[in-house]
Chains A and B, each alone.
Chain A
């Protein structure tokens, strides 16, 4: 393959692409860009057929690789460094710095005598954060952009073998990659002597097996080696001793998908977007109680209010905004006062949350913050690898306390224990999973302490979530007597004449919430104390744990 050949393919493919009707992604997944969006990583998603390499080339694909291989590896690192690209997997470590460290480590040791690769590049596609699916969208919708980014990164750091680690939960992404890799090999864009520059690189897919902790780079390396994914203490960092003891760089899907665009359009173009310390764009997966859910890509520094209200269309069903949960299970819940904070790596960390991989879940007045904290703790406790005691034992204790609180069994001492434990776990756990596992608890305690206190002191769940800790009442002054609640009630315990205030037969109410959801006049209120039936039901069954 030469540049001229690539240009010829592009000219032909462009015509073919323009002649075709493109509707590759399922409806509702990726909508056309909304005002305020800038698409860099998602630029091809939905615009090309991801199973055809020609489509990618038609949109200037692999031209960045041709350009990069005409530069020295140091120049490539310098270009990415000047762009200010930081890791999109959550921690925000400068991407170029990782490659530089690995490159120095390769130079410092003798070339392997057995012909094995001197270094490895790993693309981390183990997108485990519930609520985030940008990596899935890119791997499914534009797999070649990730392969091209990997090849450029490998050239910069000195790797000749790459691994693409993808979750088993993403069968379509795996399928598209299994088609993309042979296509790239066939055109000589992967394999030996790429673009005649004397550079060899190939990629192998590794499929995850369902372990959240494998998103942590040292655990991911263990997993590729065929072991349980258990984080290792650092140093040595993977850049010095990673996969099979060789210098290794682990980069996120979104990070790598940015790289070809940076090489093609230049560091200055990329650095012109974003904030002082966080450059470029970021994809966010908006979900939860918001009108327009889905993936968006916006410049760093945008505010949460712009994302939720301007792009997201506001809260569902005219409810009140309560919190935005960012950064997945290791992130935090931010209340209204943070809506106007510009979002970047630093500002989210300062607020006690995380950028994470970019999941943004909107919570409204009917979400209980104690239950949300319990939900995330249940997740991290289940996903704790079990290696270090602060995480494996600490998360278990935290989960027990939070579960007690959501069952009306919390005590005032529990709040103190939560504070003490979260501090300890955050400072002593081995990896980011353990250290971050406390963030949902810490942020909800900080911003929604009144809800914790209501659960403990009054045995009351003000949001109406925790079973057996509230009941519904019809407010006579608001009820229009429309009768919708009476018709909805599965137990037939709502009484009332047409156009007259209705009433709930409390002892027989199971507190299912159907009337509350159905009422158009906000005439049904959540009040402390269970009904007889809901108390018995709460003792008998438990909420299924996620």
Chain B
């Protein structure tokens, strides 16, 4: 297989070298957005207790994320109004999937 050399910058020096796929595909880090709730584990959505437009208090139960035979309560991380709910009941979602967005 023909080697493909590209440029990798380390401490302001540009090295000619082969670059791994995982390095090329890495995602740039982004500051977490606190108004968005993501799944912390893959699982199934159940018992959605809020609607779009609901006002909730910090700690209120929003829905159940059932995973590994455990019914995980997903609670509001802050008080506020629900902007959108991006999942349906019985939906199977992966990890880091956007579930609920606050206004």
Physical interaction between A and B: no
Q: Which residues of B contact A (CB under 8 A)?
A: none
Instruction: Spell out A's residues near B (CB within 8 Å).
Output: none
